[in-house]
Structure 1
Amino acid sequence: MLSSVLYALLTACCIQNEQAPMSSSLRSILAEPGCVVAPGIYDMISTHLAISAKARILYMTGYGTVASHLGIPDAGLASFRDMVDRVAVMGRAAREAGIPLVADGDTGYGGLLNVDMTVKEYERAGASAIQLEDQVFPKKCGHTPNRPVVPKQEMADKIRVAVEARQSDDFLIIARTDARSDQGLEEALDRMAAYDAAGADILFVESPESEDELRLIGERFPHKPLVANMVEGGRTPVLDARRLGELGFSLAIFPAIGFLSTAKALERAYGDLVATGASAGKDDLYSFEEFNRMIGFERVWEFDKRHARD
């Protein structure tokens, strides 16, 4: 039986698969009061569902994308090409729907020349922003242990190169630091100040460990959009967008809710199928008819009708 969590999510998201109206740019959305939620997407089904839910911003999660595409941990094992190809597919759908896509660019996949190429390719692929982090390569998921960081100046240089490499000022550079877990909040804040000075458009302190720490981050950088990473089961308390907005955050990414809900649902559905030999609980499944609409079969059928031979 599908989990009630995913069933509710799918029901809410996809009763209709209308394209979202053309939205404002990412920069203008983040300039609005309060905090905007960005669901984590990791493949094209999750992308379509998030678009149908009328999300205003999409977040391509590195963890989920690597797990979905390659079935391996988010530990620096996926290549630049693996990721930019995924950006291109999801970016096309986001662009057609008029929704900005924020894409995880890990460490930039190498040195300064790699960062230059990564920014150019992510922008060309249809992302509206790239997230770059200051971990030592190979990087690890931000809510797992043992994440050493590069020297502050090395990352500041990457941010400067990223800003220089973009073709449009509407393509935003997100600077993330992972220093909090091993070096403490003050070091993380100091790094954020350096990356801010280097030209980052959006600042992201990964894995603060209390609401007080979130408040301090918001107080230190009131002049720039801030990212809060809400990972269910992670190191940071999961708050709603209203509270995060009060604390000074502009963007709340929920990278894991999609793949965690899907994994739970599939575990139950496949387990029931293998145990019983039948697709028990079919009333809880997402409608096959609605899924056909969501994935775009209606256009295929209409195309076939227009070009059918008598």
Structure 2
Amino acid sequence: MRALLAQDALLRAPGIIDPLAGKLVEANGFSAAYVTGGGISRSLGFPDVGLLSMTEVVDRVRLMAEAVSIPLIVDIDTGFGNALNLMRAIRLFEDAGAAAVHIEDQVTPKKCGHYNGKQIISTEEMTLKIEAALSARNDPDFLIIARTDARAVEGFDAAIKRANAYVEAGAEMIFFEAPTSKDEIRIAAKEIEAPLLINMFGGGKTPSVPIKELEDYGCKVVIFPSHLQRAAVRAMQRALDILKVEELADGEDDTLMVSFPEREELVGLKGHMALEKRYLTIPDPVLP
């Protein structure tokens, strides 16, 4: 992760919620992926309002880290409680294979950064949480990112001030959530004294900004937390609409779904069959 951040280019990290999405991101040539807490919550049928337990998210991350070789930036919300809860979370997520985590300054339970009605903790409490997180990690390369949601609560200038206080406490990158204009992104990238992570998706409080402009502003990481999940939901809706009227349930549309062989290639069936042939006393497997 640190090697990627040392490069000049803006790092793009699509959001994933499971190992299959991680494999797709890696197969499509991305250098990192973003494990979205909101996406995981919605995949379980809940809004992004802090209803997940720490172990639910850790278990997902462990499976994702096992499935891919690219680094994972993981959303751990508020650290699932106070500074001591956060310390345990840091150890668990590091052990699960995350390369970086971001923690936010909302109260517990949190809300999606683009919902209304957020509340935040004091700057002092958040700086102590950052110090606790740093003290809990075992690997110094494990990256601690501080997210501030103060823009929507205290205003832009106060959010910049908070971000720099978090940097002084030891945060190595700042996730500046929900700026409301291009100018705010540009100013944040200039005035925050650490690399900036920015969140890009349609329909939220932040305008869509071209990648080249984000690079020109000096942003270091851009995450796309909801693109894959929202695309998958739309594709599933279309597939279900087709199933309601199709005469043949096995009718396939290659613009709607991947083929059976493509899917099996993605999950490494051929390699698994080779291992079966090498180590198991069974007849030669037949690939689809």
TM-score bracket for this pair, using the shorter chain length: over 0.9
> Which residue among 205, 209, 225 is the counterpart of 2:176?
205
Equivalent positions of 1:1-310 (< 5 A) are 26-68=1-43, 70-94=44-68, 97=69, 99-221=70-192, 223-279=193-249, 280=251, 282-284=253-255, 285-306=257-278, 307-309=280-282
Task: Deviation per CA, 1:102-147: give whole Å up to 9, x if none.
Answer: 0001000111111110001111100010110000111011111111
Post-superposition offset of 1:34: 3.0
Q: Which runs of 5+ in 1 are unaligned?
A: 1-25
Post-superposition offset of 1:277: 4.5
* RMSD, aligned CA: 1.4
Which residue of structure 1 aligns with residue 286 of structure 2?
A: none
- Alignment TM-score, normalising by the size of structure 1: 0.87
C-alpha contact (below 8 Å) 2:189/2:195 kept by paired residues: no
Post-superposition offset of 1:309: 4.1
1:259 counterpart letter in structure 2: Q
Task: Deviation per CA, 1:59-117: give whole Å up to 9, x if none.
Answer: 0001111222x2211111000111111111112223xx2x1110001000111111110
Post-superposition offset of 1:281: 5.0
SS at match of 1:160: helix
Post-superposition offset of 1:296: 1.9
Which residue of structure 2 aligns with residue 16 of structure 1?
A: none
SS at match of 2:254: helix
Q: Which runs of 5+ in 2 are unaligned?
A: 284-288
SS at match of 1:38: strand
C-alpha contact (below 8 Å) 1:36/1:241 kept by paired residues: no
- Measured in 2, the distance between the counterparts of 1:271 and 1:277 equals 13
C-alpha contact (below 8 Å) 1:105/1:130 kept by paired residues: yes
- Measured in 1, the distance between the counterparts of 2:111 and 2:141 equals 28
SS at match of 1:77: coil
- Alignment TM-score, normalising by the size of structure 2: 0.93
1:172 counterpart letter in structure 2: L
